[in-house]
Amino acid sequence: MAQDRPHAPELLRAIREFLAADVLPKLEGRTQFHLKVAINSLAILERETTNAATADAAELARLKALLGRDGSLPELNAELARQLRAGLRDETDAALMAHLRATIADKIAISNPKWR
């Protein structure tokens, strides 16, 4: 992230707010719908730039504890997937289910914070 302001989330918010307040009311029909989709996409990007690193770090810490080993997030997710496919873990594993719930909650909170 750049050290100078405005930071990426601030830029995304400014663009999103401008489009919603100044451009959207002047449009109608299909173009208005597509602009609403674009505005929602900017909001997701804004939340990603603000929250994704924290969510990824929490997911990585949970995976390390769950699997009892070190590695990168992609490596540990691949190992968890391998264990699930091999039948080594399933829904009766409370630690697994807690990890999956927390990971899904973090991802949904970024894509749609109104889900709760």
pTM: 0.81
In angstroms, the CA 106 to CA 102 distance is 6
Smallest Cα–Cα separation from 17: which of 48, 42, 54? Answer: 42
pLDDT of residue 2: 55
In angstroms, the CA 86 to CA 70 distance is 20
Domain boundaries defined on the chain: 8-111
In angstroms, the CA 99 to CA 30 distance is 41
Q: For residue range 36-77, list pLDDT tens digits in order.
A: 999 999 999 999 999 999 999 999 999 999 999 999 999 999
Q: What is the mean pLDDT of the chain?
A: 95
pLDDT score of 25 more than 70:
yes
Smallest Cα–Cα separation from 73: which of 96, 51, 53? Answer: 53
pLDDT band at 101 (very low <50, low <70, confident <90, very high): very high
Cβ-count burial 29-41 (b if 16+ within 10 Å, e if not): eeeeeebeebbee
In angstroms, the CA 38 to CA 34 distance is 6
The DSSP code for 68 is T
Smallest Cα–Cα separation from 13: which of 49, 58, 59? Answer: 49
